[in-house]
Amino acid sequence: PDGTFSDRQNERILEFQYKYFVELATYVYLGFALQYSFLRKFGYSTLSFGLLQATVAAQWGILWMQFIDRFHCDYLLRQINFGTGDVLCEENLPADSISGTFQQIQERQGCTCKLWTEIAANKSMSSELPHQAHHALLTIGKMDFEDTIIMTYPAMMEGLLATVPVQITYGMLLGKVGP
């Protein structure tokens, strides 16, 4: 046992992600888009506009959800002053604890962002500190220690989830304004 996963274990994770992705896509493209076809005179145009809107919002959502994660980490690193010793990341900041004041939670997240940037700069640290590296990936919302935009099932699912407010707003406007 060298710590690597077998093909079967990776396949099950991929199966779960694919199943969830298909459910989300069905919900976004068929659920929301077909609810707009209630207008008798404008049914086809609202249906096609809803599908177009969902497609564009999903594409922008994939990009912006990853940008927001990056901006949030940069913000936390700027807010927390690591140089003066105010926050000691080496102290016992339990990763499983989400209790505490808002400032303490931000400090924990900032320390995790700092750890992610350190591991991204020196990738051999991920094999030296596997549990901390895994926690950093989960907290930051990334799949690896590359600072790039990635196209994975979780990224596409986040993009589809980002379309929901757009679709709800469009449905609300159609119900309120009407042709």
Residue 6, both tokens? 């077998």
Give the pLDDT confidence score for residue 91 in this predicted structure. 63
What residue ranges of the chain have pLDDT lower than 70?
A: 1-13, 33, 36-40, 81-88, 90-98, 178-179
What angle, rounded to 10 degrees, do the helices at 43-79 and 153-176 form? Answer: 120
- In whole angstroms, what is the distance from residue 27 CA to residue 41 CA? 24
- In whole angstroms, what is the distance from residue 140 CA to residue 148 CA? 13
- In whole angstroms, what is the distance from residue 16 CA to residue 8 CA? 13
Is this model's pTM higher than 0.75 or not? Answer: no
Give the pLDDT confidence score for residue 57 in this predicted structure. 92
